[in-house]
């Protein structure tokens, strides 16, 4: 059976390489893989990719990150450090892809892999209601409730669609749909419980919270307990998407929006430059006409933007950290802009607040 599966993969991949130049190009392994026309998921090309995705699934039921699952795995090159994760769409994207292939024409191996992935995702939810970066749990920050890079938000969106039986998820059995709905409800309560308060006033979230105390927590050396001007956007959008929000959800959204409005950094912009040594760099320049931006990290007490390099020393200017981090990590961004401009007014109209 295994030999026949790999022969099929080899045949399908050979056919893909031999396809004429006018044929539709193979989508890359990223969000595009779930945004193809429904008929494409019934093609031999899509099914060959699905075979590869199934082959990448771990014995525990998860998938790796930073790996093209469209390419069959090389058992000699398996990176143990990347397995069984929700980081960088490591498990949620393959599940979303497999669901579309199943909806286009169910095959037993695809369905079994999806069900195992869903069971794995449900098992990974912590008693406090959040999801870690890796499961089974690993020592260190990997076990924190992980909002970083929208990991938990992506899980919640996936499970909500499964619970509703919407889109390609109508095939999921009633028991798993019910469990997915219960997990989403618990996750929402975790989002509400982890929202940081300052003197009783709701603000936003840290990129990761301790799974037991729910307090903001350290991740990597340059990712301190702080208020997030980036990850908090995804959480707020998810709360806005709840069809019939409770008073607690409405208060959480309003508190986050007030914080975004108050925490915008104005009058500056990031300017790419060439440093005296000829290497690329960034500098902050004054610009009264620049649109607002937000820092990635804000001090938990003062709301002042903070910047840390690999030495974990807090600075108040991005120019004060090492160039490698300044160029290799996004310390400023504009994610809240569209939320404030478009999503928030539409949400207020939808829930009857304006």
SS3 (DSSP) at 240: helix
348 is catalytic: no
Determine contact, residues 61/116, Cβ cutoff 8 Å.
yes
Contacts 24+ apart (CB under 8 A), 16-23: 16/45, 16/48
Q: Say how far apart CA 314 and CA 325 lie, in whole Å.
A: 13
What angle in degrees, to the nearest 10, is found between the helix axes of 231-240 and 151-164?
20
Q: Say how far apart CA 154 and CA 159 lie, in whole Å.
A: 9
Helix (H) or strand (E) holding 236: helix 231-240
Q: Any residues with CB less than 8 A from the CB of 135 and at least 6 apart, and which?
A: 60, 62, 84, 85, 86, 120, 123, 124
Q: Say how far apart CA 238 and CA 74 lie, in whole Å.
A: 37
For CA atoms 73, 76, 82, 85, the dihedral sign is positive
SS3 (DSSP) at 93: helix
* Catalytic residue (choose from 107, 111, 138, 220): 220
Helix (H) or strand (E) holding 294: strand 294-295
310 is catalytic: no
* Catalytic residue (choose from 88, 177, 296, 335): 88
Catalytic residue list: 88, 220
């Amino acid at each position: 059976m295994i030999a026949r599966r790999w022969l099929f993969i080899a045949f399908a991949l050979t056919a893909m390489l031999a396809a004429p130049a006018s044929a539709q190009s193979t989508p890359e392994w990223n969000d595009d893989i779930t945004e193809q026309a429904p008929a494409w998921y019934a093609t031999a090309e899509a099914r060959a990719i699905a075979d590869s995705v199934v082959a990448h699934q771990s014995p525990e039921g998860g998938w790796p990150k930073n790996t093209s699952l469209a390419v069959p795995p090389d058992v000699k090159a398996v990176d143990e450090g990347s397995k069984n994760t929700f980081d960088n769409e490591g498990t949620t994207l393959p599940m979303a892809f497999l669901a579309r292939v199943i909806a286009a024409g169910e095959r037993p191996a695809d369905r079994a892999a999806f069900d195992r992935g869903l069971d794995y995702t449900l098992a990974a939810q912590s008693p406090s209601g959040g999801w870690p970066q890796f499961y089974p749990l690993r020592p260190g920050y990997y076990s924190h409730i992980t909002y970083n890079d929208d990991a938990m938000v992506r899980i919640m969106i996936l499970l909500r669609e499964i619970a509703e039986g919407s889109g390609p998820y109508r095939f999921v059995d009633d028991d798993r749909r019910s469990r997915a709905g219960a997990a989403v409800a618990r996750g929402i309560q975790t989002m509400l419980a982890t929202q940081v308060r300052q003197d009783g006033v709701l603000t936003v979230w840290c990129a990761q919270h301790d799974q037991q105390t729910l307090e903001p927590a350290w991740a990597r050396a340059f990712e301190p307990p702080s208020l997030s001007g980036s990850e908090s956007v995804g959480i707020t959008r998810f709360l806005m998407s709840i069809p019939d929000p409770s008073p607690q959800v409405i208060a959480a959204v309003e508190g986050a929006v007030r914080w975004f409005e108050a925490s915008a950094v104005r009058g500056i912009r990031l300017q790419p430059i060439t440093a005296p040594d000829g290497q690329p760099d960034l500098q902050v320049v004054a610009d009264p006409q620049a649109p607002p931006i937000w820092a990635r990290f804000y001090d938990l007490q003062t709301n002042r933007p903070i910047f840390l390099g690999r030495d974990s020393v807090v600075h108040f200017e991005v120019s004060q950290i090492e160039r490698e981090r300044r160029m290799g990590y996004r310390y400023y961004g504009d994610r809240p802009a569209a939320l404030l401009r478009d999503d928030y007014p539409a949400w207020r109209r939808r829930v009857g607040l304006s």
